[in-house]
Structure 1
Amino acid sequence: MKFFRLDSSIRTEDSVSRALADLVEAEWVRAHPDAEFIRRDLGRRPLPAIWPVAEASRTTEEHARTDEQRAATAFAAELADELLACDAYLLAIPMYNFGVPQQVKHWFDVIITDPRAADVSRQILPGRPAVLVEARGGGYTPGTPRAGWDHATPYVQRMLADVWGLDVLTARAELTAADVNPAMAELRPLAHRLLAEARVEATEHARTIAERLRTAPNTRTGAALDEVRPSGSR
């Protein structure tokens, strides 16, 4: 059993998305103590800025590629291998400036340069389960002043569910900036309630997937799995 965990918060202390992800991981470890985790922390260790080079290599014949292009292509293959090797996924993604963190967008972009993921009409992880945990400093639900300003969730959902085919369960905390923003002081009780609800939701999602894996442990089926190969090989 293998789990993939992606973190992307630039905060290493008091990160809500990391804390919610920790709850999910704890449940998975409890249910599957022998499982392996593949981890990618884009907040602490952003990817090198290789996407333009990796993208250029897609339209360059193998014999004509530069050493830089070959290295970028191999790194993209490593990222794709990490995904294809796993049975379930945990992605912790906060919203920054009303959108997806740039390091997450870069991660998606680099993976799509890999030949196995390049055809976005062909899902590479069909039906595999995932928990998406989100943290948003403000409030963006219908009826709030900034309803419709959340440009992170729709993009991430499209990529994970529609492009890659993951079966995604989402836990979301809003108003996470209330405790540190004096202008939001009156919203703190609501923020605390929403965080408590997100914690319960994340835990329940983790248990749902753990049970699903217990009864049907092999989620790595389909054509995409047949194309898994050692990292960096061509």
Structure 2
Amino acid sequence: MTHLLHIDCSAVSQGSVSKELAAAFRKTWAEGRPDGAVVHRDLGVEAIPHLDEAGITSQFIPSEVQSPEQKAAGELREKLVEELLGAEAVVVSSPMYNWTIPSTLKAWIDQVLVAGRTLTFGDDPNPLAGRPATLLLSYGGGYTPGAPQEHWNHVDPYLRTVFEDALGMDLTVITAQLTLAGKVPGMEELIEMSQKSREDALRATEERAGKVTAALAAAA
């Protein structure tokens, strides 16, 4: 069954800007595809286990000789992979933590990137190629091109590598910058810029969701 795969990553349950953007995407999605199924994983509430030895070795050992730990780890990976492969669209919301992605998101990525399933090499087409993926990112500081700390941003480049380069998905990245303005001393002068960035991100999110739902409806 096809569905929207929605991944949230913020550890914050209230006041998360990245989750606010995801909620806006979901609202537009529901309006455009009222009967569309959604698989939602909030990794801040229920984290995915990090890939461990049992999960790695389960790929290379026949099921009949696997340990209970390997079987459990393999079953989890398969479930997560099937959720991704079954998605007609993917939306991931994530804050920046210490200049990179939350470890919960990295754990999910490590679980779903599986050679021969979601990863292909050479001339083999990727099963996810061309499907729409939307990244909704929130940065406490400012990392726009030309900003003093632009090169500290290890969120956008890494996630583009995963979703665009490795998986071949049709990727759009939307970012709200300076989200800590008004909360962190010394950033008061950036509050207006922060509010504008947030409003622009919400608008772009709604537009992207509308385009995705319209394209999927037209292809149905």
Calculate the TM-score normalised by the size of structure 1.
0.87
Which structure 2 residues correspond to residues 109-120 of structure 1 after superposition, within 5 A?
109-113=110-114, 115-119=116-120
1:72-108 CA deviation, whole Å, 9 max, x = no partner? 0110000011111121111111111101111111111
Task: Please name the residue that 1:222 is paired with.
Answer: none
1:11-51 CA deviation, whole Å, 9 max, x = no partner? 11000000001111100100111111011111111012443
1:8 is displaced (CA, Å) by 0.5
Q: Name structure 2 gaps, 5 residues minimum.
A: none
1:115 is displaced (CA, Å) by 4.7
Task: Please name the residue that 1:2 is paired with.
Answer: 3
1:58 is displaced (CA, Å) by 2.4
Task: Give the one of 205, 211, 215 matched to 1:202.
Answer: 205
Identity rate, percent? 31
Task: Please name the residue that 1:74 is paired with.
Answer: 75
Distance 1:115 1:71 in 2: 20
Matched, 1:131 2:149: no
Secondary structure of the structure 2 residue equivalent to 1:208:
helix
Which structure 2 residues correspond to residues 78-227 of structure 1 after superposition, within 5 A?
78-113=79-114, 115-119=116-120, 123-217=126-220
Q: Name structure 1 gaps, 5 residues minimum.
A: 218-234
Q: Return 203-212 or 113-122, whichever deviates more.
A: 113-122
1:56 is displaced (CA, Å) by 2.2
Name the aligned partner's letter for residue 139 of structure 1. G
Distance 1:120 1:15 in 2: 37
Secondary structure of the structure 2 residue equivalent to 1:127:
coil
Distance 1:27 1:196 in 2: 16
Distance 1:80 1:31 in 2: 26
Kindly tell me the number of residue pairs found equivalent between the two proteins: 217
1:62 is displaced (CA, Å) by 3.4
1:179 is displaced (CA, Å) by 2.0
8 Å Cα contact 2:84-2:112 kept in structure 1: no
1:117 is displaced (CA, Å) by 2.5
Q: RMSD over aligned Cα, in angstroms? A: 1.6
Name the aligned partner's letter for residue 180 of structure 2. A
1:118 is displaced (CA, Å) by 4.8
Distance 2:52 2:188 in 1: 41
Calculate the TM-score normalised by the size of structure 2.
0.93
